[in-house]
Structure 1
Amino acid sequence: MDERVHPIRISMPLGGVVASERGERPLRAHFNGEVCAGCNNGWMSSLEVSAMPILTQRPRRGRITDAEATVLARWFAKTAVNLNVSQPFRLLVDGPSRHALATSIPDRFAVHMFRVRKQNGVFDWVQKSPDAASCPQAQLDGMRRLMELTLVTHIRIADLVAVVIHAPEPLQPTDVIPDRTARIYPLPDRLPTWEELPFHDDYLGPFTHIDVI
């Protein structure tokens, strides 16, 4: 909670210039003031209790179970929503998706995981749009708009990183693909082992693209 972070927002269309920033602060200063007490002390608290043993277990060995994947996916999706609501970025997760997390993982979400070699503190995150897209020329303008409305959030907890996708209709969240990651939700036919999770040098590593051709 005392780890210090310095959130900034950069504009890629303007060449990566800093568009806004917030001063350095401890992580305890980051909270979503729109969460009611009933949710904060109810399902969110229960989800934290369920996720904590999975996030902190050492060593991580063997196959990730369906139950573990579901808890992790919902926890990372909830965290991505809180970041999207409380940080200086476009609000891209609609109300129905935000509220549905109280009981399940809404169908607009997909969650992928990987591991990272470079760690700076315990917690890092970035919110962005997909890096690229493939589509027919005639659909280019529509695809640009879909990219603007698609949320890609990388959340790092120590060496474990989740890529949370929230995709607008008519995209499916599985149309948005972070390279060299392992999808844990929607549940695949075969979940990976902890040892099989791909490695990247840092938490920003995977290139994310939309492929709907």
Structure 2
Amino acid sequence: MSMSTCSLPSPSTPCAGNMTCDGPLGNGSRFAASLNNVSFQTPSVDILDAYYGSVRGVYEADFPDKPPFFFNFTDDNVPKERWFTKRGTKVKVLGYGAVVEVVFQDTAILGAETHPMHLHGFAFYVVGRGFGNFDMHKDPGTYNLIDPPYQNTVSVPKAGWAAVRFRATNPGVWFMHCHFDRHQVWGMDTVFIVKDGKTPEAKMMRRPAGMPRC
């Protein structure tokens, strides 16, 4: 399975109540960040418990594989209508053993910058990196498939992109996020749910009955 992910730091929905806002557009706008135009909202119920307990309404299993629209992400004059994001708790569900490719693309919205993207539960191969907009037809031809770095955090270049690959052989619920605290809090994160495999060693162990809850 291949998934293209676009980092879009942008202002989102108006603030409510007495919240303090720093949005650049005024009128109560607030800063946000996103992946594929979704600003992740942490639910009040643990996603791990919700998944294994079949609790409905905690998350949506339809995180988009691609951005809703493509444009010149690294242009210094991105139109303001491209700034806004949608809030939601959308996750990506993966079958056990699926091969996943994620392409992180920086944008120039509110200023381009590097992003240290981290994935819990896995290490991945950094197969490609470049500047400007990722070209899905040309850039994969430049991938390093011989001896790519193996790590759990990749630095996405300023006004550039980075491509990583991993095999989903660690069942569970795994957080992926930018390591800049403000970007993580603003919503530049999501969750991978990796389904159990068929054999006992390919299934997630249930927590002990007496294990204290967080």
On whether the aligned pair clears a TM of 0.5, the verdict is: no
Greater fraction of residues in helix: 1
TM-score in terms of structure 1 length? 0.26
Larger radius of gyration: 2
TM-score in terms of structure 2 length? 0.26
